Chain A
Amino acid sequence: MSGWRGMGAALVVALLGLLPLARGAEDAAAGNVEAAQATFDEALRAYRAGDATSAQALFEGLLDAELDAGTRGPVLYNLGNVHFRAGRFAHAVAAYTAAVESLPRSRAAWDNLELARAKAGLDPADRGDFKATVQRLVMAVRPGELALAGWVLVALLAGACLLEMWRGGAWLKTLIVGCVALVAVDLIWLHFASARLAAAPAMVVESATLYAEPNTEHTLGRRAALGERVEVLARQGERGARGAWVKVRGDEGTGWLRDNELFDWSVRTP
């Protein structure tokens, strides 16, 4: 018995010792959010003042910060507005496409996306057919919301199991089966929503020639089409830097294209 007490005391001490560390991480995160909020506000002011260049730089800078989905969506949306006003409709399409993935139920983001696609000469993102409707339905709930629903279902399942142990009864057993079924549906939905978010987080914004190597000497004789979703495989040079190259995988296979021919909204890993 004394052994159990000793172990418990050690665990409490260890947890107390970790508290300052946890608080430090929380403070750092809070500090990051405050800094990002300040940058966001500054970008808004620059845009309102007609300084689109500064607004664009500030919004793009925010994409390099560690942001959650709820914050990242407005940043991408506003960046899309900056590109739209500048007449860069393909860039706007890419930014709005990324925005609706973070804010799938935003009417404004969808409207702007469709308008930008029309201006860029692309087909509508939501064609209104069965496949597009199902895809939009799946994407209407964010993975975080699905995860939250999953945890609620797990809690409900646990409660139902406890009650069933004491009371028994058919309706409690039905509730348990229902909870398990709903958890399964939730997990499948979560899988598809997550996979779709993670897949091909970049878009070709200029119809581009694909090269075998990161130079213009060895063309593959294939082109990446405007508006095509691609997956970034490798980079040569900093993102946004002049002369940078990106290796992508798209509909036409794998190849290199110039960085400025691509809008990449993948989450920046520091």
Chain B
Amino acid sequence: MQRTCALTLVGLAYWVPSVSQAQALDVAMGGKLFATHCVECHSTKEGRHKKGPSLFNMVGTKAGLNADYKYSDALKNSHLTWDLATLSKYLEAPKAFVPGGKMKYDGMRSASDRAQVINYLAAQRPQ
């Protein structure tokens, strides 16, 4: 029994850092995908708007409420909240998900890529 507990503890000791490492890797991969797909039109710096709004600290917020940026009426009236599931649907096909929106991006087909980008965006928050 003692031996089993000891092994479990050793296993946890390895598992805990490996989970955080995996998350960090996921965020890093998401950063690369962001640089490839999004960076022309979006910044993750606070208040740095381009053609698209700053994506700093945006996960979990209501859509279209950043006062410094001029959103489309379609997005402002969408009443969406940028939770993980909504973001995934939006990134998959933005024009279909919010018809009349400004974002010209065609969409990211891979669910795992979307998850990584969203993880990266979720990490862009006040420290």
Same complex: no
Which residues of B are at the interface with A, using a C-beta cutoff of 8 A? none
Q: Which residues of A contact B (CB under 8 A)?
A: none
